[in-house]
Amino acid sequence: MKKMIIVWIFLAFCLFGSLFFIGISINNEYKPYRALEADMKESASIYIIMNEIKVKTGDKVKIKANDLIKSKTINAMSVKDDECTGYVIAKKSLDDYEYEAFIKCENYTTPDYDE
């Protein structure tokens, strides 16, 4: 009985260890893409200020990656050798904007990306 419990505990540790390792590997693989999304959010906030874009509370504005590049608020839309396209949705809340970035690359696409 004790041997069976030890075997089950060992198998549980192996399973959780494997899942943990896989999770870390996937997270590290997509880290540069998430950094690009964060850069796009920051660039969109600068873009809105530079272009004096006015949005009513509750409304949204879509800012394309090409517009961010043209305005030089972001340098490039690539991760390593993976060229990306994308956009940022800026939603006006009571006091500030909320930004959500979406990118589409060959090796990664943001969930809920809409062509």
Question: pTM of the predicted model, to two decimals?
Answer: 0.75
Q: Which two tokens stand for residue 78?
A: 């690539």
Q: Which of 105, 67, 114, 107 is nearest to 85 (CA)?
A: 105
22-47 pLDDT, tens digit per residue, is: 655 556 678 999 999 999 999 999 99
Put residue 100 in one of left, alpha, beta given phi > 0 → left and psi -120 to 50 → alpha.
Answer: beta
Question: Residue 1's pLDDT is what?
Answer: 74
